Amino acid sequence: MMRKTRCRAFLLFALGLFSTFITGCGTLENGRGWGQDALYPVNGKRVSKALYNAATDWGTLIPAGGAVLSSLGNTDERVNSWATGHTPIFGSMDSASRTANYLLGILQAEVVVTALATPSGEDSQEWISSKAKGLSVELGAELVTAGVTEGLKNISDRERPSGGDNSFPSGHSSAAFTNVALANRNLEYIHMSSELRTGLEIGNWLLASATAWARVEANAHWLSDVFAGAAIGYFFGAFLHDGFMGLPEDKPAQVKVVPMRGGAMLALSFPF
């Protein structure tokens, strides 16, 4: 009964989001459709820039730093002991485990819905072709993230707090933050108010963060596992989307961390 209720809630969410956004017609500001220029031709300069930007994006660096800090001393053990002993957000380890799957499903559905809602032209054949190419890039980002995550699990063979293996990094976290990178980028190309877009973007970050934390409360991962998964997922989502979608590069103001000799500089960039 509970599973049916969750499925209905998930479908209602997806349909509500779809009805809110699904405009999908028209074109981008450059006159092209979303996904129309994806995959080919590959622009080496764009790919290099996307790689650098993804590596220095705060969405990658903050969780990467969190993974390093939480692995020091006995931080992982202390956080795990407190989280599983109190389960402050989800109430129980079983509830946390189920909720992580549910929240991840919502984020995955949103990537598809927002991709369909982006403007990809008026012609039906062009629309289908553009969506297919754009969605193939986003699916590729999901698959690459999953492959890298699985490879690192096998290499590290870290024991889970519950006693299993392949704990590092968290697959739920990497998948969730790949979806954040993709869905929030899709939102940039959908016509809506800036207030609504910002609210949805923040909501996606909260969903992904809740997914990651749920894996700690479920006793499935250490805190450093979910931080590392978040960094990996966001990096590959941002890099592959920006490098291979072929979309206009003008974006809202962004916070960047720029490496410098002896440290780094926090920079705020504006398109003009």
7 vs 271, residue with greater confidence:
7
**Residue-level pLDDT at 198:** 95
Tokens read off for 185: 């980028």
**Residue among 156, 150, 145, 143 at smallest CA distance from 230:** 145
Segment 18-47 shows an average pLDDT of 77
Phi then psi for 259, rounded to 5 degrees? Answer: -60, 140
Tokens read off for 41: 């031709």
pLDDT at 119 over 80: yes
CB 169 within 8 A of CB 150: no
For residues 44, 246, 177, 117, the Cα torsion angle rounded to the nearest 10 degrees is -170
Per residue in 153-182, pLDDT tens? 999 999 999 988 999 999 999 999 999 999
**Residue-level pLDDT at 270:** 44
Q: What whole-number distance in Å separates Cα of residue 74 and Cα of residue 192?
A: 46
**pLDDT mean across residues, the chain:** 87
pLDDT at 221 over 90: yes
Q: What is the CATH number of domain 40-269?
A: 1.20.144
Phi then psi for 255, rounded to 5 degrees? Answer: -95, 125
**Angle in degrees, 0-180, between the axes of helices 58-70 and 75-86, rounded to the nearest 10:** 100
CB 180 within 8 A of CB 235: no
**Residue-level pLDDT at 122:** 81
Buried b (16+ CB within 10 A) or exposed e, 102-120: ebbbbbbbbbbbbbbbbbb
CB 222 within 8 A of CB 66: no
Per residue in 45-64, pLDDT tens? 999 999 999 999 999 999 99
122 vs 100, residue with greater confidence:
100
**Residue-level pLDDT at 249:** 74
